[in-house]
Amino acid sequence: MKEKILSEKQVRNKTIFAFLFFLIAIGAAYLIWKGLRTQEKDAGATKILRKGFLANEVIFSGLFNEKKLVKTYPVSEAVKKVRVNGNYGLTDASFNPATWKMKVVKASGDTLFITLDDLKKLPKTDVVFEFKCIEGWSQKTWWGGVTFADFVKQYGLQNEAQKTYASLSTPDKKYYVGIDMPSMIQPQTILCYEMNGQPLPMNQGYPLRLIIPVKYGIKHLKRIGTMYFSDVRPPDYWAERGYDYHSGH
Ligand SMILES: Nc1nc2c(c(=O)[nH]1)N[C@H]1C(S)=C(S)[C@@H](COP(=O)(O)O)O[C@H]1N2
Ligand SMILES: [Mo]
């Protein structure tokens, strides 16, 4: 093989280039170090690390695993006595279940008012899964209703489903959640009207609640009053009190 012979000038150029590259690398390393050192503290971490947390939030929000199914169990494994937890938005004495309708605000601004009988006409889905509360308890529970995905199809809400978030709140607006759309569309997420094959008990959200197995209990809003869709993150009761907005697991 013929060796490549470099002229003196070429050797000099290469050396200069290597030296410049070395200086730039040192400079970049110094700037990164200085940046980390002098960033003001933000919630106990530096801002740069904080950006890492935000990136994780996006990754674990369900945006990248929308098709992933939560483990399910046979109905026989579901507990008979389902724990009751949390009654924000359920204490309004003037609430009348007989006249209840779910209000759905469409992207156009039009509103739909949907009854329980309307929903019962749609395909029914049951899900038995491990319901987890951030307080540290969990139990296998059995729920039935219409998947949000079926609901979108049947009511022609495809435009709404293009939004980034869904907002759900109780009729009295005292409890409210915001949920990323991929988690809403996930095939185990249901607008739920049955528990253990029976109508939902009052304290578990009669007539309709959200069951969203990819999330912790705080997101499973009981007694849905109004639903709307938005690219702006909707208010969320527990996120306002310091919990993770997405609360996925
Ligand atoms: N309207 C309303 N929904 C709610 C709550 C609440 O306080 N109000 N608590 C949440 C929490 S923290 C949990 S763990 C689950 C509990 O559901 P369960 O009472 O059917 O077990 O409901 C969620 N949905
Ligand atoms: Mo909870």
Q: Which residues of 56-67 are buried (b: 16+ CB within 10 A; e: fewer)?
A: eeeeebbbeebe
How far, CA to CA in Å, does 102 sit from each of 25, 74, 78, 211, 227? Answer: 60, 30, 28, 16, 8
- The neighbourhood of ligand 2, an ion, using CB within 5 A, equals 133, 217-218
The bound ligand whose nearest atom lies closest to the alpha carbon of 204 is: 1
Residue nearest atom 20 of ligand 1, based on CA coordinates: 204
pLDDT greater at residue 24 or residue 178: 178
Q: Return the SS3 of 113.
A: strand
Candidate ranges 7-21, 60-74, 219-233; pick with highest mean pLDDT: 219-233
Q: Is the peptide bond before 207 cis (omega within 30 degrees of 0)?
A: yes
Which atom of ligand 1 is nearest the CA belonging to 87?
Answer: 7
What distances in angstroms separate CA 171 from CA 72, 97, 151, one per listed residue? 31, 11, 20
pTM for the complete prediction? Answer: 0.77
pLDDT of 209 over the 90 cut = yes
- Confidence at residue 45, expressed as pLDDT on a 0 to 100 scale: 47
Cβ neighbours of residue 238 closer than 8 Å, sequence gap 6 or more:
177, 218, 247
pLDDT recorded at residue 28: 67
Task: Give the model confidence (pLDDT) of 117-163 as tens digits.
Answer: 999 999 999 999 999 999 999 999 999 999 999 999 999 999 999 99
Q: What is the pLDDT of residues 64-100, one digit of tens each?
A: 444 589 999 999 999 999 999 999 999 999 999 999 9
Ligand 1 mutation pick, 220, 224, 227, 240, max ligand atoms within 8 A of CB: 220
Instruction: Give the number of the ligand closest to the Cα of residue 196.
Output: 1
Please list every protein residue whose CB sits less than 6 Å from any atom of ligand 1: 82-90, 133, 170, 175, 204, 217-218, 220-223
CA angle 113, 63, 186 (to 5 degrees): 50
Of 130, 168, 215, 222, which is best to mutate to test ligand 1, by the most ligand atoms within 8 angstroms of its C-beta? Answer: 222
Query: Is residue 46 pLDDT above 50, yes or no?
Result: no
Per-residue pLDDT at 12:
65
- Which residue, judged by its Cα, is nearest atom 15 of ligand 1? 217
For residues 8-25, average pLDDT: 64
Using most ligand atoms within 8 A of CB, pick from 85, 132, 170 the residue to mutate for ligand 1: 85
Query: Is the model's pLDDT at 179 over the cut of 90?
Result: yes
158-161: long-range contacts at Cβ-Cβ below 8 A with a sequence spacing of 24 or more? Answer: 159/106, 159/107, 159/108, 160/106, 160/107, 160/229, 161/185, 161/229
User: Bridge partners of 227?
Assistant: 104, 168
CB 63 within 8 A of CB 180: yes
Nearest residue (CA) to ligand 1, atom 6: 86
Q: Say whether pLDDT at 164 is over 80.
A: yes
Average pLDDT over residues 99-128: 98
Decide if pLDDT at 35 tops 70. Answer: no
According to the model, what pLDDT value does residue 85 have?
Answer: 97
Tell which wins on pLDDT, 53 or 143: 143
- Measure the CA–CA gap between 41 and 209, rounded to whole angstroms: 40
More confident call, 151 vs 59: 151
